[in-house]
Structure 1
Amino acid sequence: MTCAIYYSTYYGSTQQYAEELASRLGTAAEPLPSSPSAVAAEPAAGPLVVLAPAHGPLHDGAKFLQQLPAAVLGNRPACLVTVGMTLDDEAVRADAAGGLLGKLKDSVTRFYLPGRMHYSELSGPHRTAMRGLVSMLKLKPGKSENEQALIASYGKDIDRVDLSRLAPVEAWAREHGA
């Protein structure tokens, strides 16, 4: 069996994880196709792994999985790997990807990996959004640990990518036929 690995990325950390996972599993990582019909046309094979960043309320991976025909996910195991800057405990507790998956929540395994944010590389709109978010958080009483970390890292180039954290995703893929 083969494992299909798809990813979307804004600043490169998700692609880095996807390519490393593909290397470990002896396959290739591909950008998310613009149409889910490309995946639907694949012969049902091993597991489907989708890696995507959390980008505010947007999650390309969850959106992509929701657009797949039911027969695709009914015939093969799928997981969604979210890459972001949220602290680990908070990412797992909040399970934002689970909420975004809607009715697929119970059939798609979810993993969370730390990413990178280089303020020096942010697009203008992203930089503006981050400035607004951090400004609002500074005024908020009773900040969470995650909110405090976001404020403390504002304006800094932070790289939390840790390829060793792929081990559970790799194990899941192998357990499901990769």
Structure 2
Amino acid sequence: MSDFIVAFESAYGSTKQYAEALAERLDVKALNFDQAAEDLEVKPDATLIALSYVHGPSHPAAKFITDTDLSGHRVALCTVGMTLDDVVEKKDGAAKALGRKAQDVTRFYLPGRLNYSELSTAHRTTMWTIVNMLKAKPLKNANDKMMIDTFDTDVDRVDLSRLAAVEQWARG
């Protein structure tokens, strides 16, 4: 039986919620990336599942994967975000963030939570700017409309049932 390492970084809590629920299913503890790096060194056959949010170009789990020697490990990346499923799957930004490692990493997308009431001033200002740019855009897609419609609203799309596919892959 393979050991599992569930590693995560969370900004507002939804990624942590997913990581802890997945770790519980796999009977391990969810770890931060520093702890996971240590575990990877002593568990050469462990299956790694790295989870993180994506904020624009920032994707901490993808960075962890690209910066870490994962030879001999099965690896999955779970990206938690607010982009609509069909859009995120089509664009596959996680593959771009992984670069040449993308072919060796199984990728999952998990819908997250965006509570404007909890955003930092910088993040809220960024979202305000993005939404106003989208409003000015002549042809809006479904994702653009969703971002405009949900601006300044707390939205929770966390769906722990989506972890079933990740668990199935892990136990593969």
How would you bin the TM-score normalised by the shorter chain?
over 0.9
Contact 2:131/2:151 (CA < 8 Å) preserved in 1?
yes
- Whether 1:95 and 2:98 are equivalent positions in the alignment is no
1:110 positional shift: 0.3
Q: How many residues align?
A: 171
| Higher RCO (CA-CA < 8 Å; seq separation 6+) | 1
1:74 positional shift: 2.1
Q: What code does the residue aligned with 2:51 have?
A: L
Which ranges in structure 2 are unaligned for 5 or more consecutive residues? none
Contact 1:52/1:60 (CA < 8 Å) preserved in 2?
yes
Query: In 2, Cα distance between the equivalents of 1:40 and 1:47?
Result: 9
1:45 positional shift: 2.5
What SS is found at the alignment partner of 2:34?
A: coil
1:41 positional shift: 2.0
Which ranges in structure 1 are unaligned for 5 or more consecutive residues? none
- Whether 1:66 and 2:63 are equivalent positions in the alignment is no
Deviations 1:139-161 (A, max 9, x none): 00111110110110000000000
Structure 1 counterpart of 2:130 = 133
User: How do 1:30-49 residues align onto structure 2 when only pairs under 5 Å count?
Assistant: 30-33=31-34, 37-49=37-49
Query: In 1, Cα distance between the equivalents of 2:103 and 2:137?
Result: 34
Query: In 2, Cα distance between the equivalents of 1:111 and 1:130?
Result: 24
What SS is found at the alignment partner of 1:74?
A: coil
Structure 2 counterpart of 1:13 = 14
**Aligned Cα root-mean-square deviation (Å):** 1.2
Deviations 1:92-112 (A, max 9, x none): 111001001000010000000
Query: What is the TM-score normalised by the length of structure 1?
Result: 0.93
User: How do 1:1-178 residues align onto structure 2 when only pairs under 5 Å count?
Assistant: 1-33=2-34, 37-69=37-69, 73-175=70-172
What SS is found at the alignment partner of 1:106?
A: helix
Query: In 2, Cα distance between the equivalents of 1:49 and 1:74?
Result: 14
What SS is found at the alignment partner of 1:57?
A: coil
